Structure 1
């Protein structure tokens, strides 16, 4: 968008991007000019606000200590190099103080198991950024199966979701001269063969959905310009997007999958056979996890025939290609269990999944047995989170990580084909002194009588008089589960200094399967907000903390949660940090990728949903006479997913009303604030200073 454009033109452009959504009119919004993400006037406003906020937070004597401690943990040389298995070798992205943007490197599997692996650097992102005058952020790699010689490396400038894709030769350790090189776009690509890609991206005018994602899939040949690619599938502009992938199993079966996301949660799954794309008979709410023994492996979020919601299931590839067949259940979770959506992997001959029972993790392996599946539970420590890190495509080896609030992460090697227990191969040293800390799980009763669990980490024997400074967080959306995890920075900066920490497992997440999410979707979302507030009141009743000593934080959808808690229950909080948030819920569909989340939040084009959005939208709920705790609102300019517009406008409205607030916008890092390790440490230090000022008081130094 052109700089200096009039507010009316800005509103018109955003309204057009939201299609038929009846987003709030410009006359209702004096701060709409701040929606021009990289406009000169908004960035000047950001600069002024940043100077005011940093003058206060960085001037606090605790800031330098917090920053130094956070950076030391983020850059520690003895942290675990999380592996990616490609073609029998171990790859890793490594960041440290000398290489803050990171290096992509490789070693052998045998060497990786040693105390000091001999790594070979393949890509130095800091050097590449310097040479090209960019700030490249690593976004992953997709390699050709099964020989793994050629890969597509995804790089983002400044951390945006939009990426550039470049072909890389693993044998030569260099980018391929004249190879595939796809310019920046929100895009997805995979390998059909060594000279052919299947790609969805911005192909030009009329090829992006209202959410800003591609809906046209094409075949691109080596040496062919983008304009010469052959179209093989086209969704609609009203979809969320279309994404291709190529699934391969150890027996040589291949499935070229196109996922047409009709909404955020519903999809058509199609298989392309080289001439046409055939729809697979699967439920609308399903995730494809891979291919094992000629069977497509999926996780369902709705019941389908004999397969219950939240289950793992399979469909023979031969049936899928003919557009028929019935799903076979691999694993069906119980009422207090869930299969973590983001933690399902396939190996050469098995499926491995993280399964949570009352928010306590375990890992299960499922192997083909006749027409069905046999399952077993891996022997792992109890009451910890289990994250599946990587697995090999043509074998059954892999790595998982286990951790807990006071248990440092352990990387464990497993063999899905064997019967042995996983073996710890790397362990992170303790980053803070957990002596005397205890972890407890409680339940609060929400507004509708539902029992909502939460974890508390605090000092054993701490006074139950509400005097403990406490931080509490949650997410509460998109069927994303919040499980126990080890945070060295939170432990060092907060717990070690006598504070407590609370993780709330409110509805909207996936801790107890799809029903836990569905309970708070769209116009039912007030239950999510009530869950969070009920946990605060339960903490007070137990004497763990009190309103003046309770600080809360959350990002993205969790940032929306924080905005709602600030405006609905200001009396419950001593401090509120709102990170990369959604806050204007009457215009969110026209900002960044907002139109893609209608299936989660509802749309202003639906009268009932608009009425609810109007009542809960934090931007519209602010009142001049409101007695709010001073919030700390932070975002990033490069966030092209939620966008910095929400945070800017919320701060501007607080300023308009004469209300206290702090606002900070980092110029890089995208939605996750991950441009480099220094940025993450800075954001952590600023936030901790804010909480210390509000919940503990001035520094004694």
Structure 2
């Protein structure tokens, strides 16, 4: 059982997977042997800010942090916002996120007394009660204090089927790189002499009780250009890393993200060891480990193994799959018999499990002991389905009995039974947790988050805007029922628009308390590049087609203004990571449409993206500026860092990043702000020294980030 634990994130993208295969094209070289990127670097006066921890760079960061804090913390609203955000983040009445594990319910919990969190457990009966009785399993704050480290829990992976031994991933300060240690749930302690991997961007899976499948930096040269591993080895218990035996090798120039081993189990005792080898961000090859060794599955490069149920391997199709005389559509789910797959991985005969309708999209797939749980989107509204295998072939399908018009997600599944926890949420509907029985389709609400803000005066609407090519772009808007349609409502518009990530309605206590309750409006746009309408919605905005994503966003803004919900004076925009790139482009292409722009942990220098942090791993999304002249020409016209211009009446942005972000890197934000400064353009800049690719390493840091950004938004849009 793999259980990922994430800090509060500013962005939706937490898994950006690249892939492999043939070597990438040779880099374009100038006649003198110098690449275009190298020439560009020499002309970049702010290249020194790419040295993340250099004294000169950190001195620049400290000076700009001080200036921003002085301006925003002096606002009388700041302290109130901080107190409210911290109170909500650390509230004792939050729903403890459950995980079925080792016969009990486990939860990872943050509050003001446990800033880095405690991993704890209780019985199912106790969890379902009003006041569960918890036992602490692992205290991350205490561990960090004892070891003198700034530990952040990043993930837990427990060995099936016993679930008594777990791999604990710990990050220093929130970065993606982790240290991995073996933990024994029966003794409640780390295993003396147990499995241990030093700091690295590891990819690890249990093969059995005494062996791990590990992809790591076996040697400095065993990493992709983005710093991820491409060799998988089998590590035996008690043996040093140097003795691990290679089971699979990708290539040094593979899609950047690195190979990923995983081992799937089902309730009947079957298992399947799979290795994904990236070709680029979205194309990959899948390899299975058989008695004969590592063998490649005969799959299209955008088809993925996602589950194992009753001896059937479940595949997610992000492109059509033609095999054995049948073509299955993109966006669907398919199955292949496990025994047949292991016998002949090169010749598969897939069968359809589920196919989307014209306004449907697959949102998530998980498995209980005997059944498949599938969450879908129907016009960006959640649905949950149960698929039960029929003896002799085929499936029966039934819905889970859940409320309509909510975002639905499978929070946890029990691999020992057919129980699951399912969450529901909406902009104005506090999150609820249901205990579902996949065998019967029944679901009952067991916990509901107390309201964190007064939503009685608000309403949620779904509208559509017309983009530049005539496509209708849906968006949600949350506002007061009695707003005056005169363009004066302070409004925040956000979107993501990349990596096939779907943006759906969600309940945010801090957003509601600090923004909606005070009369602001919030807008979530379902622009292309995401996955709200399946793979085609994503593919419409890839690489040099990406301008349509930015046109979609601007179309929503113009529609809001045309409806008189808001106006440029009172409209602000925000986005992080790939959404931060979106903000940078919109900031420059339409400076007259908004009065506030919040650019969070962003990508902004798209010409040097492959030289910064893990940027080389996302060429499937953005293209390769070093190898493809068309891609380079496209980004030379759009890359925010390269396209800042003096003399333009830009709004004053707030640029936020973190020093410990080893995924996107703080370099983009730093250089963009420095270039603005060199042009005499105003901006706010704040860089948290911890936090990784998020808002902070603990709830106090996240609360400060929230208070700063909300103060900025009210200053710009409400004053």
Contact 1:506–1:528, Cα closer than 8 Å, also in 2: yes
Match of 1:517, SS state, is helix
Q: Normalising by the residue count of structure 1, what TM-score does the alignment of the two structures yield? A: 0.95
8 Å contact from structure 1 (residues 81, 92) kept in 2: yes
RMSD of aligned Cα (Å): 1.3
Which among 381, 385, 392 is matched to residue 407 of structure 2?
Answer: 385
Distance in 1 between the 2:149 and 2:611 partners? 29
Give the corresponding residue for 2:64. Answer: 49
Per-residue CA deviation, residues 366-389 of structure 1 (Å, 9 max, x unaligned), is 111232222111121111101111
Counterpart check, 1:618 vs 2:620? no
* Counterpart among 192, 205, 209 of residue 220 in structure 2: 205
Whole-angstrom CA distance in 1 between matches of 2:285 and 2:205: 19
Contact 2:587 2:597 in 1 (8 A): yes
Partner residue in 2 for 1:479: 500
1:406 touches 1:434 (CA, 8 Å); kept in 2?
yes
Structure with more contact order per residue of length (Cα contacts < 8 Å, sep ≥ 6): 2
1:240-287 deviation line (CA, Å, top 9, x unaligned): 311101111111111111111111101111111255101112221023
Is the partner of 1:101 in helix, strand or coil?
A: strand
1:584 paired with 2:605, answer yes
Are residue 325 (structure 1) and residue 348 (structure 2) matched? yes
| Matched residue, 1:439 | 460
How big is the shift at 1:319?
A: 2.1
SS at 1:278's partner residue?
strand
C-alpha contact (below 8 Å) 1:23/1:590 kept by paired residues: no
Q: Which residue of 2 aligns with 1:180?
A: 195
1:310-367 CA deviation, whole Å, 9 max, x = no partner?
A: 1111111122211122211111011111011xx2111111111211100011111111
Give 1:10's aligned residue: none
Q: How does 1:394-405 map to 2 (within 5 A)?
A: 394-405=416-427
Residue 406 of structure 1 is matched in structure 2 by 428
Q: Out of 165-174 and 235-244, give the one that drifted further.
A: 235-244
Work out which of the residue numbers 572, 577, 590 in structure 2 matches 1:551: 572
Aligned counterpart for 2:553 among listed residues 532, 545, 554: 532
Q: Distance in 1 between the 2:133 and 2:291 partners?
A: 42
Unmatched 5+ stretches in structure 2: 1-23, 29-35
Does residue 290 (structure 1) correspond to residue 307 (structure 2)? The answer is yes
Q: Separation in 1 of the partners of 2:337 and 2:73?
A: 59
1:20 counterpart = 2:27: yes
Q: Distance in 2 between matches of 1:415 and 1:435?
A: 33
Q: Which residue of 2 aligns with 1:7?
A: none
Inter-partner Cα distance in structure 2 for 1:533 and 1:643: 27
Please say if residues 633 and 651 of structure 1, whose CA atoms lie closer than 8 Å, have aligned partners that are also in contact: yes
User: In structure 2, do the counterparts of structure 1 residues 103 and 691 end up closer, same or farther at CA, with 3 Å as the change threshold?
Assistant: same
Aligned mates of 1:543, 1:192 — CA distance in 2: 59
CA distance in 2, matches of 1:177, 1:264: 38
1:23 match: secondary structure = helix
- Do the aligned partners of 1:18 and 1:589 also contact (CA within 8 Å) in 2? no
Matched, 1:261 2:278: yes
Task: Measure the CA separation in 1 of the matches of 2:572 and 2:529.
Answer: 21
2:631 paired residue number: 609
The CA distance in 1 between the partners of 2:699 and 2:95, in whole Å, is 15
The offset of 1:607, in angstroms, is 0.6
Alignment check: 8 A CA contact 1:191 1:246 kept: yes
Q: How far does residue 28 in structure 1 lie from its aligned partner after superposition?
A: 2.2
Q: Deviations over 1:577-614 (max 9, x none)?
A: 00000000000011100001001001112011110011
Residue 26 of structure 1, CA deviation: 2.0
Partner of 2:154: 139
State how far apart, in whole Å, the 2-side matches of 1:39 and 1:286 are. Answer: 43
Q: Mapping of 1:102-501 within 5 angstroms? A: 102-240=117-255, 241-305=258-322, 306-321=327-342, 322-323=344-345, 324-340=347-363, 343-369=364-390, 370-420=392-442, 422-501=443-522
SS in 1 for 2:476: strand
1:60-79 matches, cutoff 5 A: 60-79=75-94
Q: Compared with structure 1, are the counterparts of its residues 18 and 199 closer, same or farther at alpha carbon in structure 2 (3 Å cutoff)? A: farther
* Deviation of the 1:673 alpha carbon: 2.7
Structure 1 residue 19: Cα displacement: 8.4
Q: Is the 8 A contact 2:399 2:441 kept in 1?
A: no
- 2: distance between equivalents of 1:562 and 1:610? 20
Within 2, Cα distance between the matches of 1:471 and 1:87? 44
CA contact (8 A) 1:159 1:673 kept: no
Equivalence for 2:652: 630
Cα distance in 1 between the residues matched to 2:103 and 2:139: 22
Cα shift at 1:160: 0.6
CA contact (8 A) 1:289 1:346 kept: no
Counterpart of 1:452 in 2: which secondary structure? strand
Deviation (angstroms), 1:27: 2.3
CA distance in 2, matches of 1:19, 1:246: 35
Structure 1 counterpart SS, 2:149 = coil
* Structure 2: distance between partners of 1:175 and 1:527: 51
Distance 2:599 2:368 in 1: 39
**1:281 touches 1:325 (CA, 8 Å); kept in 2?**
yes
Q: How many matched pairs?
A: 678
In structure 2, distance between residues paired with 1:366 and 1:288:
17
